[in-house]
């Protein structure tokens, strides 16, 4: 019997993603031969009659629809057996990643090279994944963060944070508010202004994983989706006018296309980062004076491609082509020059007298003028790194230390065969150390602290 029409359509619509994400085509083809999905002559035609790995993958995808009703399920099972989880998830969404989590090794295991990235460098002497994005890490698997009850030094820092010492106070519950602006649908910019702004497939993974992460860190999250430039400004202005007296911190995350110094609204207009952060400075948001204000910007800052400085990439992993207009890894950039108009007013009177732009932290997914990268199934390199690092270290390290690790992790990503890299950056006017202190409460005495806290295994 012929393959079902629905299965043929899945193979057709996911062709580019499958080509980009199947890592070891030889193992896949041999697996299909062993379970008699394809014949020996077909196997030889694919593996010996084609020059490049890309050609071999395409030949297999051309052949499968003609191999009967069971070929689709056979293909899926072979992909799982070969640890090609991302490709398997294209065929049966959710099931491939579920199999990956079931097969995931312990934290002490050496991670496998992901199909979409590699890293060519000298040996790495730290406890971070050697390759990024790590195919064993799923940003949606946000576990309950460890609580640093047993760490006497951390407890002392937490106590001191309430006395305006050398640590920012992070004792309120909730700690603060997090505004997440997720721009995915850019059809307005394309239809009304004929701008080449593609929809940001996979951005929902970033937004959801960050929402879950900050919930675990005791923040109240507000999620806004597909905002024009005008609505970005008005939403931020509304947030600026919130009375933050009952909070210790404010965070803003913007996920969008970008250009030099700015982010795009879904209408193609640009909101500039400096003007966004200024809406929350000491003059314009009085209830946040003296409190940490964090901004995370996932967007390109130009059109340049960072090709690194390590020399020629390994030719053995040079078969995956970079096609930003198709599924898989995408750039986050387009051009624009419209200035944003910010209406700013002051609210209540603050007690602390500090510099207008003090206590600001801004992290960008990439360096000025360069691209950033996004996987349409797993999200961006930058946000994946944030969720990974914060889950693993928030109970023991301060923000600047963690963000240095984020920079390190993002820099390990590379588009295979193209040598394309990305480096995230941050700048800070913080005057104190910033710790999230996950799970700690100001009204819990040392004697009352639980002694049986569960510390989940880091994935």
82 is catalytic: no
Give residue for tokens 């008699």.
Answer: 36
CA dist., res. 67 & res. 55, Å (int) = 19
Contact 299, 258 (CB under 8 A): yes
- The Cα 77–Cα 28 span in angstroms is 10
* Other Cβ atoms closer than 10 A to 121: 11
The catalytic residue among 82, 257, 285, 395 is 257
Hey, which residues does 167 pair with through a beta bridge? 433
Give the list of residues 6+ apart from residue 18 with CB closer than 8 angstroms, or none. 11, 57, 61, 87, 90
SS3 294: strand
Q: How far apart, in whole angstroms, are the C-alpha atoms of residue 229 and residue 272?
A: 10
Helices (H), 162-221: 187-193, 203-216
Catalytic residue check, 257? yes
* Paired strand residues for 417: none
User: Cα dist. 156→398, 439, 444 in Å?
Assistant: 14, 15, 13
Among 20, 110, 92, which residue's Cα sits nearest to residue 61? 20
Q: What is the largest CA-CA distance in the chain?
A: 80
Per-residue CA distances from 306 to 23, 65, 135, 406, 420 (Å): 23, 39, 22, 17, 6
Q: What share of the chain is helix, strand, coil (3-state, %, to 5)?
A: 35, 15, 50
Residues 6+ apart with CB under 8 A from 395: 145, 146, 147, 148, 151, 154, 436, 438, 439
Task: Determine the 3-state secondary structure of 382 from DSSP.
Answer: helix
* Cα–Cα dist 435/270, whole Å: 33
The C-alpha angle 344, 269, 322, rounded to 5 degrees, equals: 130
Q: Which of 184, 240, 132, 169 is nearest to 431 (CA)?
A: 169
Determine the Cα–Cα distance for residues 380 and 365; give it in Å rounded to an integer: 9
User: Angle at which helices 25-34 and 71-81 pack, to 10 degrees?
Assistant: 130
Give the catalytic positions in this structure.
Answer: 257, 300
């Amino acid at each position: 019997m012929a393959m079902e029409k629905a299965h043929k359509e899945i193979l057709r619509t996911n062709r580019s993603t499958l080509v980009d994400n199947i890592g070891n085509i030889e193992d896949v083809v041999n697996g299909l031969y062993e379970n008699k999905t394809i014949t020996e002559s077909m196997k030889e035609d694919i593996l010996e009659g084609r020059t490049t790995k890309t050609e071999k993958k395409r030949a297999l995808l051309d052949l499968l629809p003609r191999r009967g009703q069971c070929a689709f399920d056979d293909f899926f099972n072979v992909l799982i057996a070969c640890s090609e989880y991302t490709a398997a998830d294209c065929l049966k969404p959710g099931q491939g990643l579920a199999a990956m989590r079931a097969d995931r090794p312990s934290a002490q295991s050496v991670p496998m090279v992901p199909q979409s990235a590699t890293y060519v460098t000298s040996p790495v002497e730290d406890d971070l994944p050697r390759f990024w994005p790590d195919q064993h890490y799923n940003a949606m698997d946000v576990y309950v963060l460890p609580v640093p009850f047993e760490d006497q030094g951390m407890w002392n820092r937490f106590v001191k944070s309430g006395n305006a010492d050398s640590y920012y106070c992070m004792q309120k519950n909730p700690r603060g508010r997090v505004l997440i602006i997720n721009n995915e649908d850019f059809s307005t910019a394309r239809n009304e202004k004929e701008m080449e702004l593609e929809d940001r497939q996979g951005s929902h993974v970033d937004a959801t994983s960050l929402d879950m992460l900050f919930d675990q860190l005791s923040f109240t999250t507000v999620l806004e989706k597909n905002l024009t430039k005008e609505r970005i400004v008005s939403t931020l202005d509304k947030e600026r006018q919130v009375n933050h007296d009952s909070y210790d911190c404010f965070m803003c995350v913007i996920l969008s296309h970008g250009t030099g110094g700015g982010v795009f609204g879904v209408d193609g207009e640009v909101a500039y980062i400096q003007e966004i952060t200024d809406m929350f400075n000491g003059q314009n948001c009085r209830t946040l004076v003296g409190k940490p204000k964090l901004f995370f910007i996932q967007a390109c800052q130009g059109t340049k491609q960072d090709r690194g400085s390590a020399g020629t990439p390994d030719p053995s992993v040079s078969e995956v082509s970079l096609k930003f207009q198709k599924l898989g890894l995408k750039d986050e950039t387009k051009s624009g020059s419209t200035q944003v108009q910010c209406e700013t007013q002051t609210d209540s009177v603050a007690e602390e007298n500090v510099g207008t732009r003090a206590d600001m932290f801004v992290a960008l997914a990439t360096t000025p003028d360069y691209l950033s990268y996004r996987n349409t199934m797993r999200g961006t390199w930058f946000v994946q790194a944030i969720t990974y690092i914060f889950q693993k270290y928030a109970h023991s390290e301060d923000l600047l230390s963690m963000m240095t690790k984020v920079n390190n992790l993002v820099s390990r990503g590379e588009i295979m065969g193209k040598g394309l890299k990305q480096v995230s950056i941050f700048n800070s006017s913080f005057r104190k150390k910033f710790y999230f202190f996950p799970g700690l409460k100001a009204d819990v005495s040392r004697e009352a602290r639980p002694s049986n806290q569960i510390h989940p295994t880091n994935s």
